[in-house]
Structure 1
Amino acid sequence: LRRNLDLAGVRFAVGDEGEIVLVGRLPLACVDAHALDQLLGIIWSTLERAHRSLVRLAFGAGP
Protein backbone atom coordinates (compact mmCIF):
# COMPACT_ATOMS: atom_id res chain seq x y z
CA LEU A 1 0.00 0.00 0.00
CA ARG A 2 2.95 2.35 0.47
CA ARG A 3 3.43 2.31 -3.30
CA ASN A 4 -0.02 3.87 -3.75
CA LEU A 5 1.32 7.10 -2.25
CA ASP A 6 3.79 7.48 -5.12
CA LEU A 7 1.54 6.41 -7.98
CA ALA A 8 -0.18 8.75 -10.41
CA GLY A 9 -3.19 7.57 -12.39
CA VAL A 10 -3.15 4.01 -11.01
CA ARG A 11 -3.46 2.30 -7.65
CA PHE A 12 -3.12 -1.14 -6.17
CA ALA A 13 -6.26 -2.65 -4.67
CA VAL A 14 -7.65 -5.97 -3.48
CA GLY A 15 -10.18 -7.56 -5.80
CA ASP A 16 -13.38 -9.39 -4.93
CA GLU A 17 -11.59 -12.74 -4.61
CA GLY A 18 -8.66 -11.38 -2.59
CA GLU A 19 -6.34 -10.92 -5.56
CA ILE A 20 -4.05 -7.91 -5.91
CA VAL A 21 -5.10 -5.75 -8.85
CA LEU A 22 -3.75 -2.59 -10.43
CA VAL A 23 -6.51 -0.13 -11.29
CA GLY A 24 -6.18 2.77 -13.70
CA ARG A 25 -8.89 5.34 -14.29
CA LEU A 26 -9.44 8.09 -16.81
CA PRO A 27 -12.35 10.51 -16.99
CA LEU A 28 -14.40 9.67 -20.08
CA ALA A 29 -13.81 13.15 -21.50
CA CYS A 30 -10.03 12.51 -21.42
CA VAL A 31 -10.04 9.16 -23.21
CA ASP A 32 -8.07 9.34 -26.44
CA ALA A 33 -5.14 7.45 -27.96
CA HIS A 34 -2.53 9.59 -26.19
CA ALA A 35 -4.17 9.29 -22.75
CA LEU A 36 -4.55 5.51 -23.13
CA ASP A 37 -0.92 5.21 -24.23
CA GLN A 38 0.20 7.17 -21.16
CA LEU A 39 -1.96 5.08 -18.83
CA LEU A 40 -0.68 1.80 -20.29
CA GLY A 41 2.89 3.08 -19.93
CA ILE A 42 2.27 3.91 -16.26
CA ILE A 43 0.74 0.46 -15.71
CA TRP A 44 3.69 -1.28 -17.38
CA SER A 45 6.34 0.66 -15.46
CA THR A 46 4.48 0.21 -12.16
CA LEU A 47 4.27 -3.55 -12.66
CA GLU A 48 7.94 -3.72 -13.62
CA ARG A 49 8.92 -1.95 -10.39
CA ALA A 50 6.57 -4.02 -8.23
CA HIS A 51 7.08 -7.46 -9.81
CA ARG A 52 9.49 -8.95 -7.25
CA SER A 53 7.47 -7.72 -4.29
CA LEU A 54 4.27 -9.09 -5.80
CA VAL A 55 5.84 -12.50 -6.45
CA ARG A 56 7.05 -12.63 -2.84
CA LEU A 57 3.57 -11.76 -1.59
CA ALA A 58 1.97 -14.41 -3.77
CA PHE A 59 4.44 -17.27 -3.34
CA GLY A 60 6.46 -16.48 -0.22
CA ALA A 61 10.10 -15.45 0.12
CA GLY A 62 12.22 -16.60 -2.79
CA PRO A 63 15.92 -16.54 -3.67
Structure 2
Amino acid sequence: MSDQLRVGDRVRWNSRTGAVTGEITEVHTSDFEFMGRRRLCSEAEPQYKVRSDATQLHAVHRGEALHRVS
Protein backbone atom coordinates (compact mmCIF):
# COMPACT_ATOMS: atom_id res chain seq x y z
CA MET A 1 0.00 0.00 0.00
CA SER A 2 2.87 2.37 0.68
CA ASP A 3 3.22 3.42 -2.99
CA GLN A 4 -0.43 4.58 -2.94
CA LEU A 5 -0.17 6.91 0.06
CA ARG A 6 -0.10 10.67 -0.55
CA VAL A 7 -0.03 13.96 1.31
CA GLY A 8 -3.46 14.56 2.84
CA ASP A 9 -4.33 10.87 3.24
CA ARG A 10 -5.89 9.92 6.58
CA VAL A 11 -3.99 7.03 8.19
CA ARG A 12 -3.74 4.95 11.37
CA TRP A 13 -0.57 3.58 12.99
CA ASN A 14 0.44 1.91 16.23
CA SER A 15 2.44 3.72 18.90
CA ARG A 16 3.59 2.82 22.39
CA THR A 17 0.29 4.14 23.72
CA GLY A 18 -1.95 2.37 21.19
CA ALA A 19 -3.52 3.18 17.83
CA VAL A 20 -3.13 6.73 16.55
CA THR A 21 -4.88 8.44 13.65
CA GLY A 22 -3.67 11.40 11.68
CA GLU A 23 -2.79 12.84 8.30
CA ILE A 24 0.21 12.49 6.01
CA THR A 25 1.89 15.90 5.74
CA GLU A 26 5.05 15.01 3.76
CA VAL A 27 6.38 12.15 1.65
CA HIS A 28 10.18 11.72 1.70
CA THR A 29 11.94 9.84 -1.08
CA SER A 30 15.54 10.72 -0.21
CA ASP A 31 17.45 10.52 3.07
CA PHE A 32 16.69 13.25 5.62
CA GLU A 33 17.01 14.09 9.33
CA PHE A 34 14.09 14.07 11.74
CA MET A 35 14.44 14.78 15.46
CA GLY A 36 18.21 14.39 15.30
CA ARG A 37 18.14 11.01 13.54
CA ARG A 38 19.05 10.19 9.97
CA ARG A 39 16.10 8.58 8.14
CA LEU A 40 16.97 6.40 5.15
CA CYS A 41 14.47 6.26 2.31
CA SER A 42 14.20 6.14 -1.47
CA GLU A 43 11.66 6.35 -4.29
CA ALA A 44 11.05 2.61 -3.84
CA GLU A 45 10.80 2.85 -0.03
CA PRO A 46 9.53 6.30 0.96
CA GLN A 47 8.91 7.47 4.51
CA TYR A 48 5.89 9.48 5.54
CA LYS A 49 5.68 12.38 7.97
CA VAL A 50 2.35 12.18 9.77
CA ARG A 51 0.59 14.54 12.18
CA SER A 52 -1.37 13.01 15.07
CA ASP A 53 -4.99 14.12 15.40
CA ALA A 54 -4.80 13.87 19.20
CA THR A 55 -1.55 15.74 19.89
CA GLN A 56 -0.78 17.57 16.62
CA LEU A 57 2.78 16.20 16.95
CA HIS A 58 4.66 14.75 13.99
CA ALA A 59 6.17 11.31 13.53
CA VAL A 60 7.82 9.55 10.58
CA HIS A 61 6.92 6.02 9.46
CA ARG A 62 7.52 3.64 6.60
CA GLY A 63 4.52 2.83 4.46
CA GLU A 64 4.04 -0.67 5.88
CA ALA A 65 3.34 0.84 9.33
CA LEU A 66 0.49 3.01 8.02
CA HIS A 67 -3.07 1.94 7.28
CA ARG A 68 -5.46 4.16 5.33
CA VAL A 69 -8.67 5.14 7.14
CA SER A 70 -11.77 6.74 5.68
Structure 2 length as normaliser, TM-score? 0.25
More strand by share: 2
More helix by share: 1
Larger RCO of the pair (alpha carbons < 8 Å, separation 6+): 2
Question: Which one has a bigger Cα radius of gyration?
Answer: 1
